[in-house]
């Protein structure tokens, strides 16, 4: 085996170094490019997963597709929601923000939420007279009601009686846990259900439940209830 002279060894090493340098010049940018691309794909996948979790199709909670009309009533003192005690009502929010939240959820569910708030029981009665009975304005009768009686809890028999006369199923909601607070409500005895103690999320639970039971008819029929006419 021939022995290379030192100058020949240097020459060969030179060639190897040059070739290796050329290879690295090509390889390093390619590796970096592929790494950046892979990281971008992973970030996009995580983002899409987060969006999917945040914006889950809430229609999965429904068994039908009819666009039900659901009234949302907030009674006396609820218009002052932004000033209510945060220990009970959570971070300050206006009644308009609360209503917008429920209306937006309704759109995602495929139902129409018609909000109404007032400090006067007579206005609640007039609103129900126009929207909750067979002779509703423009024939757009409600199919159900979600109500936070608030200041009407104890003295709102007139409103409760009106709801009963309408025959509409209604769900009572409260920010606070009225059992723990030992609060009595005249509305509870004829409500088809009650959601309370979850702050603003009580409304979420109520709306999802109402849309669900209107779809499949799985609820206790109120006195005077009539089946909705086919869409």
| Fold type of domain 58-216 | Rossmann fold (3.40.50)
What is residue 3's predicted lDDT score, i.e. its pLDDT? 64
What is residue 54's predicted lDDT score, i.e. its pLDDT? 55
Q: For residue 212, how many C-alpha atoms fall within 13 Å in the half-sphere facing its CB?
A: 14
pTM of the model: 0.76
Grouping H, G, I as helix, E, B as strand and the rest as coil, residue 115 is strand
DSSP string spanning 156-219? -HHHHHHHHHHT--EEEEESS-TTTTT---TTGGG-SEEEESSTTHHHHHHHHHHHHHHHH--S
What is residue 231's predicted lDDT score, i.e. its pLDDT? 72
Task: Tell which wins on pLDDT, 165 or 7.
Answer: 165
d(CA 30, CA 102): 51
pLDDT, tens digit (0-9, with 9 covering 90-100), for 44-92 = 777 655 544 555 688 888 999 999 999 999 999 999 999 999 998 999 9
d(CA 143, CA 214): 8
pLDDT, tens digit (0-9, with 9 covering 90-100), for 100-129 = 999 999 999 999 999 999 999 999 999 999
Strands 144-148 and 170-174: parallel
How high does pLDDT run on average in the chain?
88
Q: Could you list the active site residues? A: 89, 174
d(CA 114, CA 215): 18
> What are 73's two structure tokens?
């009533």
CB 79 within 8 A of CB 124: no
CB 75 within 8 A of CB 123: no
pLDDT, tens digit (0-9, with 9 covering 90-100), for 183-207 = 999 999 999 999 999 999 999 999 9
């Amino acid at each position: 085996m021939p022995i290379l002279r030192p100058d020949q060894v240097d020459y060969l090493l030179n060639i190897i170094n040059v070739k290796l340098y050329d290879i690295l010049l090509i390889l390093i940018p390619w590796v970096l490019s592929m790494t950046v691309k892979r990281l971008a794909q992973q970030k996009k996948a995580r983002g899409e997963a987060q969006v999917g979790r945040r914006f889950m199709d809430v229609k999965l909670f429904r068994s039908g597709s009819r666009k039900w009309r659901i009234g949302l009533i907030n009674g006396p003192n609820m218009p002052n929601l932004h000033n209510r005690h945060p220990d009970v009502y959570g971070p300050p929010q206006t009644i308009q923000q609360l209503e917008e939240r429920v209306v937006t959820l309704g759109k995602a569910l495929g139902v129409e939420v018609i909000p109404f708030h007032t400090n006067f029981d007579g206005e609640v009665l007039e609103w129900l007279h126009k929207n909750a009975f067979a002779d509703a304005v423009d024939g757009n009768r409600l199919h159900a009601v979600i109500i936070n009686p608030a200041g009407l809890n104890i003295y709102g028999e007139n409103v409760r009686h009106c709801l009963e006369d309408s025959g509409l199923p209604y769900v009572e909601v409260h920010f606070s846990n009225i059992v723990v607070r030992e609060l009595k409500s005249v509305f509870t005895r004829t409500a088809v259900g009650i959601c309370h103690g979850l702050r603003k999320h009580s409304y979420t639970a109520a709306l999802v439940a109402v849309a669900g039971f209107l779809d499949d008819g799985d609820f206790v029929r109120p006195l005077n209830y009539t089946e909705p006419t086919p869409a």
